[in-house]
Amino acid sequence: MANVVIANDHGAVELAGIFVKHLQDRGYTVNHLGVTTNDSVDYPDMAKLACQEYKKGDYEFGVLLCGTGIGISISANKIEGIRCALPQNSFAAEMARKHNNVNFIAFGGRIEYSESPVKMLDAFIDSTFEGDRHQRRIDKIMALESHC
């Protein structure tokens, strides 16, 4: 059974709960590090917590959520070794995996998506990295961590 880490702030409690159940229904073991109440927490702290846990190993991917998904994805992308996508639809979620081999995907709990976020998450999960020319590009992305 594959492992997933998920974390959220107070802006995405409901969507995080939906994702946790959906991931469990798909057979994942979910390590939910996020909050379950509307008490305010800072999304950079939640991103750091989940990314540090992910980097310990034994996780297939991570899911991050805040009110818009923007702040938590920016925070995650500051952490060495993390590539976090914030998809706007299923196609973007699929391409995040196929072309960018992201290890985290982010969503906004207060966003009215044009399609179900669960469908977007499934598009991500059901995709696989294509490698080849995309690996060259990922190598260049990751080199930016130490060259800029």
Residues involved in catalysis: 66, 99
- What is the phi-psi region of residue 110: left when phi exceeds 0, alpha when psi lies from -120 to 50, beta otherwise? alpha
Q: Alpha-carbon Rg of the chain, whole angstroms? A: 14
Structure tokens at 141: 């992305």
Which secondary-structure segment (H or E) carries 19? helix 13-25
| Alpha helix positions (H), 26-147 | 43-55, 70-77, 90-98, 117-125, 133-147
The label of the residue with tokens 């995996």 reads 97
